[in-house]
Structure 1
Amino acid sequence: MSEATIAAKPQQKILLVDDEEAILNSLRRVLRNQPYELFFAQGGEDALLLLEKHAIDVVVSDARMPGMDGATLLSEVNKRKPDCMTILLTGYAEINTIVKAINEGQIYRYISKPWNDEELLMTLRQALAMQHAERERRRLVVLTRRQNEALRELNENLEARVKDRTAELQQTADMLDLAYDELQRSYVTSTEVFSMLINQRLPRDKQTNQQVILLVRAFCANQHIDDHSSRDIAMAAALYNIGKLSWSDELISSPSDLLYRNERDTYRKYPAQSESLLMALEPLRDAATLIRHHQEHWDGGGFPDHIKEQQIPFGARLLKLAIDFVELQCGLVLERKMNRDEALLFIRKYSGRLYDPEMVELFIQVCAHLLADIRIADPAVKALDTRHLEPGMILARNLQAENGMLLLNEGKELNRQLIDKLIAFESIEAVRYTVFVVLPEPQP
């Protein structure tokens, strides 16, 4: 076991665990210029000793190690230090390891070996940002509780003091609401990042999750669906096919209409398997229910529960429309890939059998509007290159790199430092990004 630190006064501590010294050296190289204090361990027992001695913020562990494996280690980390973020690093996409790490270790992210350096750095930054948001939320909860207790102790006859304290309490409550909203957005962002696991198993032309997310968000905005339901549907869209991770490469990219009997049986189990992977995570339970029922048919002929009509949750009915529309064009339903118009005609043809007939026409209208020109679907959204970005602009859509990595999440307010980093990233990657933003309101 060895230890190393970087930077004069590190703010955040990261523990890296792997039984191979070469892997630890590679991680040391990737992180050597980052503002973190690094700790290294070559096994689970050594890692737990370091965890007790130091205020570790993030643990990155290999899955396969002699003695205590990565999933067991991260489960123990979660028990001892629930506040610590955990990331599983492995070269093996084994469903049992993933399930154990998710259910017991409460992992934040799963990264495959060999890793992408930029993806690893971005994941660490996002994990630390989410941890900071959660800590801030708890701090505000404690602050609010203390102020409530102090308020009860005030003399009811001192109206002026009561008014003053009420004003302070309202300000704190507003801050708490903002922190809670940010935390909810972080959950949505985390699911979209996690969906990249599935994308890594598929050819680029069969990666469906981001398109499905865009469609359900557009429909929810068009129909004024409440924020809570919209978030659940978006998270379900990001993770609806996580139950396919254990499939072979051939099966996961084959059209469902051409599967043999034993393959079809496996296919019919994936909604329930996806649900079971997510049910242990409290913020994802409603989304998991939508995922379970997204292959139900309006006439009751779907799976896994053969429910029909209004028994099928609204979000699941919407998810079925969006997924079929995208997968018909990717060749994941029929052997022949359809174009957009053909896919919409297919959906209309099976209205009342596969799909909610009242929802079909609304969905077609949203698709027609959205796909005509995505950049002007919302008149308040502007499409700009990075050289025309200004501080104060709000990101209207997630910004992703060419390889699918999430760079910035929707709702992020741009500042000069972020803009300069985007421009520098373009130069390094030799690409140009179009950024969708909402312009700041003019000051009076």
Structure 2
Amino acid sequence: MSQPASVLIVDDEPNVLRALRRVLRSETYQVLTASSGEEALEILAEEPANVVVSDNKMPGMDGAELLSRIQASYPDCIRILLTGQHDLDAVTRAINDGHIYHYIAKPWNDDDLRFILRKAVAFFESEHERQRLEALTQTQNEELKRFNSELEARVDARTAELTQVASQLDSAHEALKHSYVTTTRVFSSLINMRLPERHQTNSQITQVIKAFLQAHPVDEGLRRDLLMAASLYNLGKLSWDDQLLGLASEKMFGEERDRYRKYPEMAGELLMALEPLHGAAKLIRYHQERWNGSGFPNHLKEEAIPWGARLLRLCVDFIELQRGLMLDRHVSRDNALKLLEKLAGRVYDPELSRELVAFLQEHAPDMGISDASVMALSTDKLEPGMILVRDLHSKAGHLLLNEGRELTEGLIDKLISFEGTESIRYTLLVRLPDEEALIEDESET
């Protein structure tokens, strides 16, 4: 949200209102107050709030009734009940009639209250974003219907577009000799014009390869070939129709499977027409070969597969597993790494697989993090003293930990326990505390 969240506090006791304002003084919220349910409704009519915190026991309209009326008129507003005693009937009525998000007992704990409000605001923002995305999806679906209605006419346009792409590939031959990077970007953009968004994986694969090669240097020629191959590896899919593009590879059978198995060879043949791309074309042609010889197109085995093609295969599968392009589901980052380990020795070069998995367990170039000091770790690898470098949210979108939070042993144990209850595995982006700062802290003590 571009503006600070608005929180309305309702209580008939001025001392309570002042106390709550003090508690929230360090927060970024716009805090509004009302001394009665009637006044609260008047304020909401003029200035809707994101979150309402209401005392239960108030003269006239009590908190449960107020939250029920707010729920009816402002359903998006997050409602929290503040009760001076454990009044089960009032809480039950507020849940049933007002659909409250949470209730807080007096006297409250300041830290708990701030944490609950942060979660409430985060929940409001996530719901707001969900509604925005639903509206966007509806708009896109309508556009898709219009697109499908024109499909027959667009077939000829696509054929012309593919012909134009081939023509551009030929005409770019001379320029490619002088500028590999620029020309590769042009080709990659042309590919992305044809492929659906979730198939536009070349950017992430390039990031992974570039970061891995910084830690495991190779000669400049092989590095250039690998980066160009990462940008152009799916060139052979340009001739696929929409139905085939929408399938995960495990769901392809018969003729569809045959076309899938030809895409590396087709891309390699297209690029072999351009002399500066011969090295990249060879890596693309063989990147679907398997360590045990069961791959395609030539059933190469072990060391007969070019090293660059072996690395490209690992990086392609790592990203495509997460995008749902191989299996008929999206695989989490941690599980994708586990599959690379599990299939080492059959599909992948075992030594290269071990090196890449170890690298990606500590670095996250595929998540937009190029800082070598930042590590992507599962909860079982966390250690006290590590600093969180990106907010951690729950599966439901609630903020669990803020960026900059120092992890403690107790906090790590709570995260592991929370994973068990939610049946989910989290990957945290963390870095170790600055060593010089630690030395200064120890000297001061």
Please, what TM-score do these two structures have when normalized by structure 1?
0.46
Please, what TM-score do these two structures have when normalized by structure 2?
0.46
Q: Which protein shows a greater Rg?
A: 2
